[in-house]
Amino acid sequence: MLLSIVSGLNESKSNGKDVIKKFSSLCQLLKSLNYDGIELSLLEPEKIDVNKIIEIKDSYEMEIPALGTGSTFIRFGYSFGDTQESIRIKAIERIEKYIEFARETQSKVIIGLIRGRYKYDSSPQKERLNIISSLKECCWLAENSNVQLLFEPINRFEIDSYNTISQSVELIEEIGSNNLKLLVDSFHTYLEEDTANIWDYLKEIAHNVGHIHLADTTRRAPGSGHFDFKTFLNIFKDLGYAEFFSVETIMNPSFEVIAKNSAKYLRTIL
């Protein structure tokens, strides 16, 4: 089981030395807890000395399995579905920065919140077409850089499009890019999927999955709620899934406590 956990580096508000120091400290901590990687949630990856990051991760024999891009929408308001072409272009340009960073670090790039929320006075159908068009352009960029994109179904309370796994699989098949895979998140799965049928369906589409996020029903550490992680994880394990499982939760009471408890629980049940 390849295990990672999500963390930011605060690169937009810190100087370069502080960013590198934080990354080094994270690698040191996570290595001691038997993690294999650290998933980075970034806002401006171009501000980070990628060569230093590579040097540090390699020294700890750690990987950066994926890059989170959601802060692009949260902080900048750029999204794939926006009715303004200029905003969509900015969103694609931001993804290109992530792709450039990912190419160097051999990471994947997540497409989640960056697809945006529907505006009250717009057409959902038009915004979906905008999302598809923007995603196709990003897939072209990813293909040219040999980087894999990960499309994440997100629950209806956070986003308006592609909330379920089946909707997302259909989109991936429509796009038809070998560089676009599915990201399955246990928390969003719990909120959106039919618990009576989801296990069999996951077996059917497991070959489409390139990354997995783990959070319990409370969106806290795995094992703190009542999500059936043993069944969930074993589905992928039994089908030969060899990619990362990445803990993405509310970091309360602290990152250190969540990292320690999550690793212990997940390693125990498998």
* Model pLDDT for residues 125-141, shown as the tens digit of each residue: 999 999 999 999 999 99
pTM value > 0.95: yes
Q: Which CATH number fits domain 2-269: 3.10.20.440, 3.40.50.720, 3.60.9.10, 3.20.20.150?
A: 3.20.20.150
Q: Answer for the pair 246, 5: CB distance below 8 angstroms, yes or no.
A: yes
Which residues are known catalytic residues?
152, 248
Per-residue model confidence as pLDDT tens digits over 77-95: 999 999 999 999 999 999 9
Structure tokens, 52 = 């230093």
Burial status of residue 50 (CB atoms within 10 A of its CB: 0-12, 13-18, 19 or more): middle
CB 16 within 8 A of CB 49: yes
- Residue 153 zone, left/alpha/beta (φ > 0; ψ -120 to 50; rest): beta
d(CA 114, CA 81): 9
pLDDT exceeds 90 at position 123 = no
What is the rounded average pLDDT of the residues 34-62?
Answer: 98
Nearest CA to 256 among 13, 11, 25?
Answer: 25
Question: So what's the pLDDT on residue 76?
Answer: 97
pLDDT exceeds cutoff 90 at 39 = yes
Percent of residues, the chain, with pLDDT higher than 90: 96
Closest alpha carbon to 110 in 262, 263, 244, 258: 244
pLDDT mean over 207-222: 97
* Integer Cα distance of 60 and 41 in angstroms: 20
Q: Omega before 45 cis (within 30°)?
A: no
